[in-house]
Amino acid sequence: MSRLAKKPISIGKTAVSVDGGVLSVKGTKGTLTKRVHPSIDIAVVEDGVMVTPKNSSRLAKALTGTFASHVKNMVHGVETPYMKKLILDGVGYRMEVKGKDFVLTVGFSHTVPLAIPEDVTVTVEKNNMTITSSNKESVGQFAANVRRVKPPEPYLGKGIHYDGEVIRRKQGKKAV
């Protein structure tokens, strides 16, 4: 069994409830819900939230740590939203928000529109993009989808990369 699931997860000022196999966490910044796997039991106790397996199967033991991590991320997210920053490098490359779409101009013959998920907010300042949401999975998945459009290339470093990401650069051709 997971080490995370052995201790209760502290919830602080958030309200956590489990009804009919659905876990809901409500805090100052929003509300998150998640379906609970049938082989996992989540109970709200006075110390926090306890995640335990319903049986001794290998799947139940594996999912115990996973759901403990999900609960911890949900409790943290409704108090302080998660944030990822992406940087666009390249001459003539642009990014902008148009309504509910995020539009990239990154050297292709066409622009690349991406639909912004409903629980995610995107702000763009020049070539810096900030993605914020109380759901950690939504932030990470949308950031990965944006980066996948034009990952940084190793010779000039052009493309979309995370803030603080180190791009391994290669040496170009040498003149003889």
Confidence check: pLDDT of 3 > 90: no
Q: How far apart are CA 41 and CA 67, in angstroms?
A: 10
The chain-wide mean pLDDT, for the chain, equals: 91
* Strand, helix or coil for residue 44: strand
The reported pTM is 0.88
Confidence check: pLDDT of 1 > 70: no
CATH superfamily name and code, 4-77: Ribosomal protein L6 (3.90.930.12)
Where in the chain are the domains?
A: 4-77, 82-162
Confidence check: pLDDT of 75 > 80: yes
Task: Please report the pLDDT score of residue 112 as a whole number.
Answer: 95
**Alpha-carbon separation of residue 130 from 27, 86, 93, 125 (angstroms):** 22, 6, 17, 9
> How many Cβ atoms from other residues are within 10 Å of residue 65's Cβ?
16
Closest by CA position to 29, among listed 114, 135, 143: 135
Task: Please report the pLDDT score of residue 7 as a whole number.
Answer: 86
Task: Please report the pLDDT score of residue 129 as a whole number.
Answer: 95
For 82-162, which CATH class?
alpha beta
Do 82-162 and 4-77 have the same topology in CATH? yes
> How many Cβ atoms from other residues are within 10 Å of residue 6's Cβ?
13
Which letter does DSSP use for residue 56 in this model?
Answer: -
